[in-house]
Amino acid sequence: MRNSLRRGDTCPLLIKKKIEVLRKIQRGLVIRGHIPKIDHLKYFILVGISKDSKTAYNLLINSEPSVLIITNPTIRNLEVEILPGTYQFLKKPTPSYINCLKYYKVDSFDLINGLIDNPSKICGYLTPKHLWQVVQAVENNRSFNSEERNIVTVPLILPSRLCPAIR
C-alpha cells in the first residue's frame, strides 16, 4: 500500500488512474482491442452508451475494406473514409473506412474496466470532421431504428453508475 500513495496525494493511484480514464470516455474515442467474433486486433470508435448504461456502442475502422464497400454505392455512403496519415495509429498507406453500417455492442463495464487496466488501448479521438461524417452516415442508415440513431446523435453522458470512483 505504501507505493500506491505519493506525498501530497489524497487518493490512491488506482482511483486516480480510474478518474483519468473515465475523463477520456467520450464519443469519438478510438480504442485498440478485440471485438467479439473478430479474431484479431481492431480499432473501434466509442459512439454511445445505452440508456441503461449496460452496453457501449462502437463502430469499427476497416483498413482492408471488402470490394462490396467500394463498388456498392448504398454501402459506400455508410462508410467514412480516412485518408492515410490522418491518424498516427493507422499505419497503412491506403485509406481506411469507419463502418457505419452496423454497431458492435460490448458490455460497457468490461470496456471501461479494460481501459482502466490497460490505458494504452486508448489511441486518440476522431477529428470533429470525421465525427460529424459518422453522425451523418448513421442518420442516413435506414437499418438503424430511432433509438439506435439517438445513441450517436444525442450527447454522450457517462452514467454515474459506471463511475463509482468519482462519486
120 part of a folded domain: yes
d(CA 148, CA 103): 9
2 part of a folded domain: no
pLDDT-derived band at 1, boundaries 50, 70, 90: very low
Q: Which residue has the cell 486508448?
A: 122
Is 38 or 48 the better-scoring residue by pLDDT?
48
36 part of a folded domain: yes
The pLDDT of residue 163 is 59
d(CA 138, CA 143): 9
The pLDDT of residue 147 is 85
- How many domains are there within the chain? 1
CATH number at residue 29: 2.30.30.110
Centre a 10 Å sphere on the Cβ of residue 24 and count the other Cβ atoms it contains.
15
CA atoms within 13 A on the CB side of 44: 22
pLDDT-derived band at 40, boundaries 50, 70, 90: confident
Q: Is the pLDDT of residue 11 over 70?
A: no
> Pairing relation of β-strands 55-62 and 96-107?
antiparallel
Domain span at residue 96? Answer: 25-158
11 part of a folded domain: no
Which ranges of 46-124 does DSSP label H, i.e. alpha helix?
Answer: 67-71, 73-76, 108-117
20 part of a folded domain: no
Q: pTM value?
A: 0.82
pLDDT tens digits, one per residue of 81-132: 999 999 999 988 989 999 998 888 889 888 988 998 899 999 999 999 999 9
68 part of a folded domain: yes
Mean pLDDT for all residues in the chain: 82
121 part of a folded domain: yes
41 part of a folded domain: yes
The whole-angstrom distance between residue 116's C-alpha and the CA centroid of its chain comes to 15
Residue 135 is given by DSSP the state H
